[in-house]
Structure 1
Amino acid sequence: MRVLISADMEGVTGVADPADVRPGEPEYERHRRQLTAEVNAAVRGVLARHPGATVTVTEAHAAFRNLLLPDLDPRARVLRGRPKTYGMLAGLERGADAVIFLGYHAKAGTAGAVLAHTVSGAVIADVRCQGRSLGEIGLNAALAAHLGTAPVLVTGDDLTVREAAQTIPGVHTVEVKRALGASAADSLHPVRACELIEDAVPAALDARAEVRPPRFTGPVELEIDVHRTATADHALLVPGMRRTGGTTLCYPAPDYPTAYRLVELVATLGLAAS
């Protein structure tokens, strides 16, 4: 059994404000400890069900350097830093049987969700593949499916797990907090959140054949709505990219992995243009 844990941060219990997940802020240090604790809970859950499993943790928040490595379960390997192949899902190119989306958040535009955004809140307003709007949960689930990996568990706030259930029928979820607004949450105690995550993993792994993630075969028409016209200007430097509106970009990707990586590229170009 090979399991990848994609560790984002906005969906960790207790996180509510942008400063909670911003390196250099006082609260960030406390919340990165909780992120590490929740990852460790998932690792324990995997190894309780499959003692011989290979567990890899891939950092999936900001610059991909958030986990406290000395505190990480020593039975896991960790991928950190950027850029990484497939970004939030780096490691899937090596092959995996299941992937866990830990500490995730709702997609951009989700009313009332804690710190909702898609890839880069400062750059991207929406992403559509074949006309279907997808946040990070959907984008990552579709990549996992393309690479033969089942997304089995999503943790985050109540609106995040609702999005997960709608986007990935059959997926298991753990609600570690309830959203009270974009920067407010009713959170579980950190210990309780870890207990729920650890307990949920074995059943999620057992049910991986029941998961039905979104799939895109063949060419994919990718559309990205960005916030600024300057971002669109920079994105037009990509051969084949075209503008279909003032801030809407369209790209005819030959396959889904190419579309996925184009989203990350547009986000990077947008930050460079700001």
Structure 2
Amino acid sequence: MKIYISADIEGVAGVVSPQQGTMGNGEYERARRLMTQEVNAAIDGAFAGGASEVLVNDSHGDMRNLFPDELDPRAELILGKPKPLNMFEGLTREHAGAICLGYHARARSSGILAHTTNGFAFGRIRLNRQELGEAGLYGAYAGSLGVPVILLSGDDQLKAETQALFPDARYAVVKHAVGHRAARNSAPEKARALIRTQAEDAVRNAKSVQPFRIQGPYRLEIELNTPALCDLASVIPVATRLNAVTVAFEPESVEHAIRWVNTLSALSAALR
């Protein structure tokens, strides 16, 4: 049984500040080690639950955060970017389940370090009128392949936001939001124990979890954070500008919707 893990950093126990997700400082080095340890807990739990293979995709920032030499050697690791499917690169129909580890709530919510893909660029992302964060968007992509999201870890706001999308999934709530940059955290050791237990249970029961699907035809609406960013997005010939800060696309699949989101995210660098 093949299991897929997408690993972000904002939802890791002990991570509360943008500095901890930004390369070039001691706080980041500490956070990426905590991230690696939580991934190892999920890997160990997945194998205990019956996984035969585990593929991990580093899904934060430049996507080279995890320590390869400290990762459980039973798993394979995807590092670096750009890559076609970004946070879910490497996922295939052969995977029995996907795990969203260290994830966070969507932009303009009360979760810790909440954002959607690119905090500088995006205010809201809607697919077929449904507002989605990263877990929902990539979970819908997994569902389009017939793969269920079986476990999510992060803060309590992530669970509150996504439980209706993934009602059969397991959750590892490792911290509770006090504010956007403050949390009541579980001790890292306790967080890892919870993740391991939940991963084992999730994998053992993966066949009973239904994928999250959004049926086509598709309409993607992206609300940018400024009119200037919307000016930039509107340069794309197939984009329809709806108002000062919102553009729409009609992608042929959830995969293509994700590709448009990531294209605009990359373009936004021109205005930083």
TM-score normalised by the chain length of structure 1: 0.95
Q: Give the whole-Å Cα distance in 2 for the aligned partners of 1:135 and 1:57.
A: 20
SS in 2 for 1:220: coil
Q: Give the match for residue 71 of structure 1.
A: 70
SS in 2 for 1:50: coil
Q: Deviations over 1:129-181 (max 9, x none)?
A: 11110001100110000012111000001111222212211111001111110
Q: Give the match for residue 23 of structure 1.
A: 23
Q: Give the whole-Å Cα distance in 1 for the aligned partners of 2:211 and 2:46.
A: 21
Which runs of 5 or more structure 1 residues have no equivalent in the other structure?
none
Q: Cα RMSD (Å) of the superposition? A: 1.3
What displacement does 1:94 show? 6.8
Q: Is the CA contact (8 Å cut-off) linking 1:217 and 1:255 kept in structure 2?
A: no
Q: Give the match for residue 252 of structure 1.
A: 250
SS in 2 for 1:268: helix
Output the amino acid matched with 2:11: G
SS in 1 for 2:259: helix
What displacement does 1:97 show? 1.3
Q: Show the 5 A alignment for 1:40-119.
A: 40-50=40-50, 53-93=52-92, 95-111=94-110, 113-119=111-117
Q: Is the CA contact (8 Å cut-off) linking 2:146 and 2:211 kept in structure 1?
A: no
Q: Is the CA contact (8 Å cut-off) linking 1:109 and 1:116 kept in structure 2?
A: yes
Quick one: which of 238, 263, 270 aligns to 2:236?
238
Which runs of 5 or more structure 2 residues have no equivalent in the other structure?
none
Q: Show the 5 A alignment for 1:70-219.
A: 70-93=69-92, 95-111=94-110, 113-219=111-217
Aligned residues: 272
Pair 1:3 & 2:3 matched: yes
Q: Deviations over 1:182-234 (max 9, x none)?
A: 00011111111111111111211233344344322332010000012222222
Q: Give the whole-Å Cα distance in 1 for the aligned partners of 2:49 and 2:249.
A: 42
SS in 1 for 2:264: helix
Q: Identity, % of aligned pairs?
A: 38
TM-score normalised by the chain length of structure 2: 0.96
Q: Give the whole-Å Cα distance in 2 for the aligned partners of 1:265 and 1:207.
A: 36
